[in-house]
Every structure is written in C-alpha cells, then in structure tokens.
Structure 1
Amino acid sequence: MSAPEFSLIVTLADAAHGRALSVEADTETRARIAKRLNLVGLDRFTVTAEVRAIAGGIGAKGEVQALVVQACAATDLPVPATIAEPFDLRFLRDVDAPVGEDEEIEIGSEDLDLLPLEGDRVDLGDAAVQTLSLALDPFPRHPDATRILVEKGVLSEEAVGPFAALAKLRGKPDA
C-alpha cells in the first residue's frame, strides 16, 4: 500500500485529553491529492477537527474545506467549486468484525462514518481526503456546456450521454 497523499496521524494519547487541529495542505501535497482524485486543480485544502477519546477508539468531528477545479463531464472545461464538508468520524477497534457467510448485516446511517482503529492511531488526513472525494460533484458541468455542445452540433444531452451509441442502433435491422 502506498503512503497517503496527506497524512495527519492522531493517537489515542492525543485524543485522551481532547485536541483541536487545524491543518492546511501545502502546494506539493495538494498536487498529490488532486492527482489521486483526478482534479484539474486543488487550490486549497484545510482540515479542522476536534479529536476526542470515545468508548473503543477515537472520535473526530470537524470540516474539510477545499477550493477544487474539476473537468466538466460534457466539455472537459474547468469547473471551479468551493467545498465545505462537515464530518463526524468514529475510529473503532471492532469495526472490521468478521461476518459469517450466512449472516446478514444491516448498515444504518449511523454506521457510515465508522472506520477501523489501526492499533493506537488513525490517519485523519487520509480520512479527510476520502471525505473530500465523497463531497465532489460526480458530474461537474460548466455553465456554458449546453451552448458549447449546440455550437459543436450536438443537439441534445442524450446525444452526448453514455447511451448515445446504443440510441443510434435503435431501429436498425439485425445483421
């Protein structure tokens, strides 16, 4: 496993008395994060958090703030965005309890922010990058995308969508 792009190690000892963190990634680190998340650019990446000891591990509540630039899904033009994504994570020892083959598990929304505690430490920085990843627009769209597509002769959104090639085959006889 390769080293995380942004590492911010928090230990049980740090969490025992509570700890406030505020860390901003430098230019080189932001470039590595941008590459991992397939961003055109990452002009700012800041993590603020309150870390505390909880039963069975470490709790971290805070926010990821970022200035990102993504590529438009339709035109590849840059789409800037400001992200302020809150998080409330719990790193616990027993998160990865094995489940039997015939057992069913039900995951509720309270389980979504549970992560495994690795020994006596967690990497809050890597968790913050994952939080940013989940906050990104999966289909960023440049404000001029429709106009540009019309100018290029694309008449509708369906014509550039993932099923455009299949739509062209509709109505053709089998070969």
Structure 2
Amino acid sequence: MPPEFSRRLPLGLVGPGGRTESLAATPEECAALAARFHLLGIDSLAAELRLRPDSDGAVLAEGALTAEVTQACVVTLEPVPQRVEARLAFRLLSPGQEESDGPEDLDEIACPDGVADLGEAVAEQLALALDPYPRAPGAELPPEATESETGPFAALGRLKRPN
C-alpha cells in the first residue's frame, strides 16, 4: 500500500550544492493521514526541507513542518484544534549504508533503491510532533479512586455497620 503523502526524490538529484524542497499535502492526502493517525482532521500540512550531501554519502535533510490538526480531547472527546510547528533534521541513507543506533544520532531513513520518500518522512515527523494528550480548555481528569474505594474488599467495607 503506497503512503498517503508520497513525494519521492532520487538521492542522485541532490547535487553538491544541495537543494530545497517544498512539500504541501492535498486535502485528500490530509484526510488519509488523519485516518491513519486517528485524528479528527488535518486541515493543512506543509514542510520546507533543505537537502545537502553529507560527508559519508548520505543526504542531510533539515527544515520545518507546519500543520493544522484537530485531535479528540482525552477527557471529553471534544475537538481540539492545534497548530503543530516542528523543526526537522534527519539523514537519508544511500543504498548499502548501515543505520547508526546511537542515542544522539539523527533519525536515519534507509533508501535501498536510492529514492527517498520525503512526504512519508514528513508524515512520520508529524506523528512524532503531535500532542499525545490533547485537552479541551477546562477539561480535567476525574480524581483517582483510592485502593480502599476500589480494592477487592471495598464492597465488604460498604456493608460494615457503623458502631
């Protein structure tokens, strides 16, 4: 199944001077991404990427993404519109390059056929930038019940007669 937001770029087109890519999702792509990420909606998604060759043959991508999304409140399920703005930095690996696994390393995306899907990379970065616990204004979680109120002997405690 092809990605909902696909913008393929052969890595060979990134010359020694680099290049800039502007990406914007269509309304249909936004709707498909919203379904994939279980969002109420995505009104817009755009990214600006500066691509330049790295010393080891990979391509370094840096830039920013902006999106207008609507998530469900984790308390009330009301729509919560949000603006997402995120800085992007990742490496696109040429065929045969091994991924690094250091904690300080940039995210790396393997491109085994020498073609990067910049749209899918931006979509994945959007998923990482979303608020994991969106809340509507004024929405608060109910207080947690204590063990004595919900534990296995709670029903027995309610049957106890006062002295």
TM-score (norm 2): 0.82
SS in 1 for 2:119: helix
Structure 2, unaligned stretches of length 5 or more? 155-163
Max radius of gyration: which structure?
2
Q: Which residue of 2 aligns with 1:122?
A: 116
Question: Is the contact between residue 99 and residue 108 of structure 2 (CA under 8 Å) also seen in structure 1?
Answer: no
Q: Give the structure with the larger helix fraction.
A: 1
- Kindly, what percent of the aligned residue pairs are identical? 33
1:22-171 aligned at under 5 Å gives the runs 22-54=22-54, 55-93=56-94, 94-96=97-99, 107-110=102-105, 112-146=106-140, 156-158=142-144, 168-170=149-151
CA distance in 2, matches of 1:65, 1:143: 22
- Residue 12 and residue 79 in structure 1: after superposition, are their counterparts in 2 closer, same or farther (change >3 A)? same
Question: Is the contact between residue 45 and residue 66 of structure 2 (CA under 8 Å) also seen in structure 1?
Answer: yes
**CA drift at 1:22:** 1.1
TM-score (norm 1): 0.77
Structure 1, unaligned stretches of length 5 or more? 98-105, 150-155
CA distance in 1, matches of 2:107, 2:123: 14
SS in 2 for 1:85: strand
SS in 1 for 2:144: helix
CA distance in 2, matches of 1:157, 1:118: 51
* Aligned-CA RMSD value: 2.5
- Residue 168 and residue 134 in structure 1: after superposition, are their counterparts in 2 closer, same or farther (change >3 A)? farther
SS in 2 for 1:3: coil
SS in 1 for 2:153: coil
